Amino acid sequence: MKQKRIRLFSIVLLLALSGLSGRLMQLQLFQTESYSKHKINLLEESVAQRTQALVIDEGRGEFLDRNGEPLTYTEKNVLVLFPFLKQLDWPVDKVAEILHVPQETIRTKVEEAKGPIVFGGKEPLRLSEEQMKEINSLEIQGVFALTKKYKSDEVPASQLIGVTGENTDVFHERYPDKVKGANQKIGVSGLQESFDEWLVAEEEAKLIYHVDARGGPLFGVDVKYLAPANPFYPLNVKTTIDRRMQEALEEVADTYNIQKGGLLLLDIEKSEILASVSRPAMKSRDPFSGGAGNLMLKALIPGSVFKTVVAAAAMDEGLVDERRLFPCDEDIRGEAAEKPHGNINIKTSIAVSCNRTFADLAKELTEKDDHLLDEYAEKVGLIGDIAWKGNVFHYESFPQLQVSEGRIFASDGDRAEPKLVAQTGIGQQEVRVTPLGIANMMATIARGGEKFQVSAVSSVQYQNGTNMFSFPRQKVEGETITPFTAMKLQQYLRGVVNSPEGTAPYLQNAAYTIAGKTGTAQTGNYRGERVKANELYNKWFAGYFPFEDPKYALVAVNMDVTIGEGGIYPIFKDSVDAVYRLDHE
């Protein structure tokens, strides 16, 4: 009986030891870098418990403007001090003399330090190259003058670039074969999300030293510099953004206090985004509290800007020429128009933005083929695959931008209702298109009907500036409007600005000659009491310039404003003038 108990106890003990051994093997051999469902890196965590470190560069790739200048970070020459200095007798007087600050200020910062610090804190004292050389030549252990990378508080084109966040579960779901620390950042919106796979950090660059349980140096005062071993990584994304133009248009948006809306500027020849301004502005410290969404890529009510599509379709389909007259003393219901214009042709109808003309043409087009308006919206580059999409490495159809899908009708049933078709013809009812699409439409017309996908990124680059992959200009597949129709539209859009009856004579004084189209879209919303004076509109102007030799397409929209506020013409003119000044500096 006794032997039986001893044998049983031995078996239990053996099983317990086997389980403990298995657990130790799991922790120390098999899952050291990917423990549990949370993929915890035990090696990194153990090191973190016995070290203090100052991160110099978190290792994630960055975004550059079209000239290769950083958009998302700045580099500062700073002084780094380690807390073990308080235990040493070191030449603080020499450092203070180089920095031109009192010795006591430096001593106080070191005494207060619980870990390695940047002298000056959130507003670090910036060192000159000469000061850096002098400090480092002193060779004081625990005192370093170095260049540290800082995230920019204000990122140009912030909604286009997007934001990052920390989510270990999402990281491992996205990249199951990669083992990273718990604080690994991933892109959650904009280009940060689209290009996340190329931007994820390989390794941080940091200064590190080992500490005991009380925070004192464990192996003396030896500080190590750890940095990625591969000089080509992390990769950077070179955007098409022109930083100067971006900042100039952001200033215009703020000058006119655009609360909701924005501006989008395209390079017509290259079909690239030069500037993208979306308001409300994104808060850098709390981006998702409001303003994180990019309205330039969202489908909005365009109003009369859509008449450009109706005119293109009607001319291409042979329904109208300049001899045909429309009764523009009447509105789309056949009642007296609020602004009567008499019997006028298509050219003048675009200039004065006559609703009756385009309501009638929309009905005729739909009777001929109830999908013609959709087809011509694609032919002019307003809807469809307008943003860059193509084969990139293992992606068969990689999209640079996440653009809302535009629409002309909400349902097929609407196409059979003449009243709804009439409203559609003037850009109301269920028409929803993006500012990007509208700018692309203007660029397409300016090019004589040629359609190209719009890009926001020109290349992915190695750290040394050489290209890993370039994004070539790509034509949009499918039919286009005829060159003759494009030429006529160019003349008509110019008439909006320079003809006596045009809706935008204010723009005649712009630094560049402009062709374009006005839009005032009813939103169905009110500010307060539901009376006419409180009705809210989206105010648009979209066009291209200079008219004689088109270089830029620009769209401006001021959303949810009353009829008496938020004038769009000064916004558009000041934007054009800003581009002109930058072109001629």
Point out the residues that are catalytic: 304
List helix spans (H) across 471-567.
483-498
- What is the DSSP code string of 464-486? TS-EEEE----BPPS----HHHH
Closest Cα to residue 339, out of 355, 350, 324?
355
Q: Which residues contact 30 (CB under 8 A, 6 or more apart)?
A: none
Residue 123: burial class (beta carbons within 10 Å; 0-12, 13-18, 19+):
exposed
Residue whose C-alpha is closest to residue 328's, from 346, 315, 313: 346
- Of 197, 500, 538, the C-alpha closest to 352 is 500
Give the list of residues 6+ apart from residue 191 with CB closer than 8 angstroms, or none: 63, 160, 161, 162, 237, 239, 400, 401, 456, 457
Token reading at 234 = 């992390």
Q: In whole angstroms, what is the distance from residue 33 CA to residue 30 CA?
A: 8
For residue 1, the number of C-alpha atoms closer than 13 Å in the C-beta half-sphere is 0
- In this structure, what token pair is assigned to residue 192? 């940060």
Closest residue by Cα to residue 402 from 246, 242, 191:
191
**Encoded amino acid at 280, one letter:** P
